[in-house]
A and B are shown apart, each in its own frame.
Chain A
């Protein structure tokens, strides 16, 4: 299972790592309970500071997607365990939709894009 980091991407490396893991969880490629590599391994392989990966893991932990088990490292948490409110969950979607509207796309085209992206994101998930 791979995670891709692009140096041309405007997002910071920690954000790319966090987003990449989120996508894999959403697609069901990282099912509940699967172990993630230790921070040191990922940071070493990528050649970045330990804090970069630790921040990504912390963010995922804060969002309830990862749990840190003593002795066995980080594992993917149950997806029903999320404690974020409905409004909180919708906020990034609203921001993304606003961007698309401001870019001049018609509502029907936006709808198409959303459906297509949803299919990509949930590809493989049960």
Chain B
């Protein structure tokens, strides 16, 4: 149980900046909103006085939908702004874009941006609560929170659980936020992938490294399989998707060979047949769709808690 009533921070910039109590408070609050989402009327008036801007400077489908749904279920007024980063960087600066939107009396900003630190930059320069919906290769805190929530829901508790994160760790904000979040909640984290996709100094984060997917699966209770982000790679980090799928993809045979039943997660969108076969993605091992459902509740909890703090 969290020992605090409100978050320690006016922004959600990253898991790194949250205390364990903050995370517990978010997870407890998520329980309440998950219950709301299962009512016949899935809407509460908590944020009806607030206007939230969703600023997406990088493509997103599910995160954007999830935030928008969470905002609407809390009765907030919502505006959406989407732009490719290239068109913005050629013209108006981020501060100007955001200040223009804030001039329309926006209270909270949810932002996805390709630059690490972009959410920090915004928090330092504008007067609104900032929620980081992914800043480049830095953090994606709500994804980590919904992953933690989903594991907790499935397994009861995170203390002592073994979680392996598989795939492109080097370019992954999901990996980084997950590592911070899982560790703060008492889990042990291993990363697995081709050596070119593992940051050289990753062990300074307190994780261990494995390059053999079978050994990693045998070790873990939960495997979180990351999307291979070909769009973030400036040079070739591995020869082909075929070879990646052969040596790092998870298939049913591998899971059948284990003497235990592990949980399979994926932040989506899945490259079926690359990170994971369809057979596994759609199997009883998989909690991929629970993650999506929990995403809305977690985001409602975050928005609600930041708004509550704002009101004081």
Q: Is chain B found bound to chain A in the same assembly?
A: no
Q: Which residues of A contact B (CB under 8 A)?
A: none
